[in-house]
Chains A and B, each alone.
Chain A
């Protein structure tokens, strides 16, 4: 209980405009222990980034709103905190790195100053000492400390992402949220950056919430995984559960669509159809229209979560136990 760094309980987030309401996240729950890594997997538009931004309390309001649910960091609810407390936590206890390194850094400030900024925000040290700390962080992520005074445009994409990582880890946060940190980078650089993140996680004992659409990356770095679809977590468990005892048809489909190096095929196997419109979600299971195992119960009413084995949760009619739930 007390070893849980992060606990999300029934989080619901909507984006409300005067024309429509986008139901981005619809009742998700997950938890993360100290030092653990969780992979949040899903297609574009599944609600992963919204989840991450909710933890950081950075959902733009308007039009976004956390409608209900709790986000507990070390037992305290982030949603109901005072703004000052939230600022105290951001960058300090919980940090986030974003998807596109090209636009994540302020072009008119030196990279060193941007790292020093987060240090000075949360620690009472002098400007000079913060600069030294910033320099140390640069070295830690593999950038020569002398480049402190250079500007973002003087760095490549991969190096910019390292600077972003340096900023995120400068205050030794307990939880790092990484939103598709390598998607925008070249394949060769992706590996380097992932290795770096993994190394730093282990060195500092930081917990990691890794958002990605790449099942391979999750297998390498994480211990648990949560599969998101249309704002809901459809399957959740340890790597063994997800990869070897795959339950939900969507997860099965995801694995099925990954190209197989050993088998010769003529065509790839995508999942038929498209994700539902988040402004017009169906009442029952959102995956029903595309599911090969669909039955009438699927579209009739919302599907409850089943724990198929200890720690392995699935949101699917196929696994409903009691007749009452059918």
Chain B
């Protein structure tokens, strides 16, 4: 499943950049270079070979050696440059997801249990606002308010925990709004189910009914949204890193685009597609943990284990 998609992605990206106007040699070496210099550049990067040959050689490099090409600008391997910066982006994404999930799910639950109340309406409106804000603008506004006017937080960089707050909020807002809406609608549906009434008929407290009985069932669509959010998060990180001057993969890509550093752009997109496939895989795994109906398709029931426990207790 993952493999054909990744191959497809690589083919699409490769072709798109292959047919891009402008000669890489011209762009990188500039007007001062001689024809011979340019030819040498092209030979060095294998740009004079036919399309399919180039593609196959590139894919060979990727699959066998993890070699995503060489940056036109720094002459360093793309893979190295990306991997250097990936931990930063990963950290930013992880924190944003964490923030988004915590805020999104809690507000979603409160909204669902107090439907049509003031909090619900406020949360719904705010979430709509959050989804409508371009996140790079949000980043800039946060910088203006918190770094320039109030001077509470630093405007750029990623070194200390204080540095992490604004970027994580910027990237996470969008996702937290989506998660909140999905949690709310999912919970609203679950709360109306018969088994919730059964739980109450047992004399269970409302808190446990909501957090244990309802939420566990509502998780499945919520996990889907969280997974999807990760994709948008990576996209959002691209712009946010530029705003906050964070040395991550996103900023790398933006700079590469501006400089027409095609191998970097190509390698970066492929890399991100790869990461997203892994995220999707993890999401699928999470499903089977959350929903026993899916889980039982893969495992056998734990009857034997229980028998032993019961026997032990009775003895």
Contacts and interface: CB of A to CB of B under 8 A. Distances in A.
Consider the complex of A and B and state whether they touch directly, i.e. have CB atoms less than 8 Å apart.
Answer: yes
Interface string A79-117: 000000011111110011010100111111110100001
Please list the 4 inter-chain residue pairs (A to B) with the smallest Cβ-Cβ separation, ordered nearest first.
Answer: A90-B203, A91-B202, A103-B194, A91-B203
Contacts of A122: 203
Given A56-B201, A167-B202, A108 B216 contact: yes
Interface of B: 193-195, 197-205, 213, 216-217, 290-293, 296, 301-303, 305-307, 309-310, 313-314
Contact of A105 (B195, B205, B291, B309): B195
B217 A107 contact: yes
A302 B124 CA distance: 48
A103 B193 contact: yes
Contacts of B305: 149
Interface stretch (A4-12, A140-148, A187-195, A288-296): A140-148
Given A58-B197, A107-B195, A107-B293, A132 B310 contact: yes
B313 to A, nearest CB: 5
Interface centre among B197, B213, B302, B307 (most CB of A within 10 A): B197
A87 B199 CA distance: 11
Could you say which of B301, B307, B314 has the most chain A C-beta atoms within 10 Å of its C-beta? B301
B177 to A, nearest CB: 27
Contact of B198 (A88, A105, A148, A153): A105
A308 interface: no
Nearest to A164: B198
Contacts of A86: 203
A146 B204 contact: no
29 contacts: A56-B201, A58-B197, A87-B204, A88-B203, A89-B203, A90-B203, A91-B203, A91-B204, A92-B203, A95-B201, A100-B194, A104-B198, A106-B199, A106-B213, A106-B216, A107-B195, A107-B291, A108-B217, A108-B290, A110-B292, A112-B306, A131-B309, A131-B313, A145-B310, A146-B306, A147-B303, A149-B305, A150-B301, A167-B198
A164 B305 CA distance: 24
A7 to B, nearest CB: 21
**Max chain A CB contacts within 10 Å: which of B203, B216, B310?**
B203
Contacts of A110: 292
A10 B146 CA distance: 64
Nearest to B116: A62
B313 A132 contact: yes
A164 B195 CA distance: 10
Contacts of B203: 86-92, 118, 121-122
A122 B201 CA distance: 13
Contacts of B200: 58, 90
A208 to B, nearest CB: 16
A304 B194 CA distance: 37
A164 B202 CA distance: 11
Contacts of A154: 296, 301
B172 to A, nearest CB: 28
Interface in A60-93: 86-92
Contacts of B193: 103
B291 A149 contact: no
B116 to A, nearest CB: 10
B295 to A, nearest CB: 9
A107 B197 contact: no
Given A132-B310, A147-B303, A150-B303, A104 B202 contact: no
B214 to A, nearest CB: 9
B303 A90 contact: no
Interface string A265-299: 00000000000000000000000000000000000
A135 B202 contact: no
A151 interface: yes
